Amino acid sequence: MVFNTGAALLDAIVLAVVSKELGGTYGYKITQDVRQAIEISESTLYPVLRRLQKDGCLEVYDMEFGGRNRRYYKITEAGVAQLELYRREWKSYVTKISLIFAGD
């Protein structure tokens, strides 16, 4: 992608991906889903997940899968509120940029 992805946009994408799974989802799946929008490595994603957890936007729990523990991430009420803020801001941002690109 030509455009840089800032921390806020990355947080918004991760929260949107995690919010789609009511029971939560695990890191590798989050990486794969985020990669549908932007290229990201797991080493970039995990610090984002930790930061969102620290900020109270995600809760974490472990569940056994295939004889091993798998860490799951679930969006919190605070995370839902933050995601809604990101969605409103994104809509405004896209509208303004689109008008500039269109030449209006």
pLDDT by residue, tens only, the chain of 104 residues: 667 778 899 999 999 999 999 899 999 999 999 999 898 888 889 999 999 999 999 999 999 888 899 999 999 999 999 999 999 999 999 999 999 999 85
Distance (Å, rounded) from C-alpha 50 to C-alpha 38? 19
Number of domains in the chain: 1
Domain with residue 80: its CATH number is 1.10.10.10
Q: Is residue 86, in this structure, part of any structural domain at all?
A: yes
* Half-sphere exposure at residue 1, Cβ-oriented, CA atoms within 13 angstroms: 10
Q: Is residue 21, in this structure, part of any structural domain at all?
A: yes
Q: pTM for this structure?
A: 0.90
- Per-residue model confidence (pLDDT) at position 76: 98
- Per-residue model confidence (pLDDT) at position 29: 95
C-alpha angle 42-10-49 in degrees, rounded to nearest 5: 50
Tokens 């994603």, located at residue:
45
Range of the domain at 97: 7-102
Q: Is residue 2, in this structure, part of any structural domain at all?
A: no
- Per-residue model confidence (pLDDT) at position 62: 94
